[in-house]
Amino acid sequence: MRVKRLHDQRVAAGACFVAAVFLNIIDTTIVNVALPAIGHDLDVPLTSTNAVVVSYLVALAIAIPVGGWLGDRFGPKRVYIASVGLFALASALCGLAQSLDQLVLFRVLQGLGGGIQTPVAMALLYRVYTPAERVRAARVLVLPTSFAPALGPLVGGALVDTLGWRWVFLVNVPIGVATVVFAGAFLASGRGVNPGGFDAVGFVLAGLGLGLVTYGLSGAPAGGWTSVPILASLVAGIVCLAALVVVELRLHEPLLRLRLFEVPHFANANVVVVLTVGTFSGLLFVGPLYLQRSLGLSAFQTGLVMFPEAIGLLIGSQLASRAYPRVGARRMMLAGCVGLTLTSLGFGVAAGAGANLWVFRLLALLTGFSMISTQLPNQAIAFGPVSHADMSHASALYNVTRRVGGAIGVAALAGVLAALAGPAVVPPSAYRAAFVVAGVMSAVAAVWAALGPADAKEHAGAAEAEMAVG
């Protein structure tokens, strides 16, 4: 009976982990194909709708380091159910929003619920899998989540064309309810432990800093970089983030253990991940806009064109894991960054009158392949020298960096579109310029990867890294 119950908990914890990561990842991309419809229905410029994406990514970044503390304090099962419930409720509110401001506010709530889910689901896995088993389990559990970024545009396109953009959010409600029921029925209850004091000052500074900077970056395309509200929010946000660094370095139990950046491997990997995830998220933002607004494709047709990215992710995840021991971390990551650069520039060349959709499909395939080729060695480099004691802190910090990188990429490319947009439409030249900027970001990542460590520094905590990030 004991063995059977353990097996059941492995299945239950694995299912909850996949559900949490899948919902988080797919919700960063499912909205992209709906942005033109959202802008038209809510009567806002297309370049202003980037706030719908950016606000969610930043809310994820704010909530991720808090999720682990809440799970320890109140028990992972209860916190997991509450966070999924918040995610589902916020999704319903997003579907009912009557203005862009309302939608952005509800997206923040959705991101907070989603951000708490991931570390708590990870804690559930740690309770039922040994360190050696986690690596084998990760290779299976990563497959569903690898499809999420590309499934988003496909599912979102189908919903927008048939039921309307609101169902891009409302579809999460029955999934969330089913997940809550499953977790309540099958997850074993666990008592909370004493996680130590909560870094309330760090949480407030991180929330204000990231929130204000995000407001400035996402609002600048429509409001102008020199407007008083935009400049004030950017300056205030930067001041808060600077204060966060000072406070966190002085605390014994900080919300974000920033001293981990003193480890060269970890610091280098985080810089690369900001630039590569920024490139990837920016491409997933600009690509669907171009296909719909310039080429006149429907939302579902756009999803079909972008879907080969999922195939690239799947093929890359299998080949990269096999090639990594022979190729090494730096050479594989460098090749992936170069691949992202070439595909980004390829999108820029292809973005013109009469663009061939098969070229876009091929570029989407290569984008997915290149992206996964950067992430596996990047994680190995980041977590290789991290000790068991610091693993949860390193995972939280790494995931925050990923979300912030995605938000920066979307905001930067939206700014390019806004700067070059005409009075009524965004010309193809603006999209081409945005793709070139994405290529520049990944080119910088390639240089940084080339200057970084040649390979991962082995450590006892490295094996857990495959499960620790999503």
Encode pLDDT of 176-214 as tens digits.
999 999 988 888 776 656 666 788 888 889 888 888 887
> Residue 156's closest CA among 47, 345, 284?
284
Q: How far is CA 348 from the centre of its chain?
A: 23
Distance from the first to the final alpha carbon of the chain = 32
* Residue 405 near residue 275, CB atoms below 8 Å: yes
CA distance 92 to 362: 36
Q: Half-sphere exposure (CA, 13 Å, Cβ side) for 227?
A: 12
464 secondary structure, DSSP code? G
The answer to whether the CB of 310 falls within 8 A of the CB of 340 is: no
Q: Which of 152, 57, 151, 150 is nearest to 369 (CA)?
A: 150
The 10 Å Cβ neighbour count of residue 249 is: 12
Q: Which two tokens stand for residue 177?
A: 């309810």
* Residue 6, number of CB atoms within 10 A of its CB: 11
Q: Which of 331, 332, 18, 50 is nearest to 148 (CA)?
A: 18
| CA dist 354 → 12, 72, 294, 300, 346 (Å) | 49, 56, 10, 19, 15
pLDDT given at position 119: 80
* Phi, psi of 388, deg, nearest 5: -60, -40
> For the segment 224-278, what is each residue's pLDDT rounded down to a tens digit?
677 888 889 889 989 999 999 999 888 888 888 888 888 888 888 899 999 999 9
- Which residues in the chain come in under a pLDDT of 70? 1-7, 130-147, 149-150, 190-196, 218, 220-224, 353-354, 388-389, 422-424, 454-470
Q: Are 308 and 284 in contact (CB under 8 A)?
A: no
Cα distances from 129 to residues 10, 137, 469, in angstroms, run 7, 8, 16
**pTM, full prediction:** 0.83
Give me the DSSP letters along 184-236.
HHHSPP----------HHHHHHHHHHHHHHHHHHHHHHHH-TTSHHHHHHHHH
Residue 283: per-residue pLDDT: 92
The answer to whether the CB of 123 falls within 8 A of the CB of 76 is yes
Amino acid at 74: F
Alpha-carbon gap, residue 408 to 395, rounded angstroms = 20
* Exposed/middle/buried for residue 164 (C-beta within 10 Å: 0-12, 13-18, 19+): middle
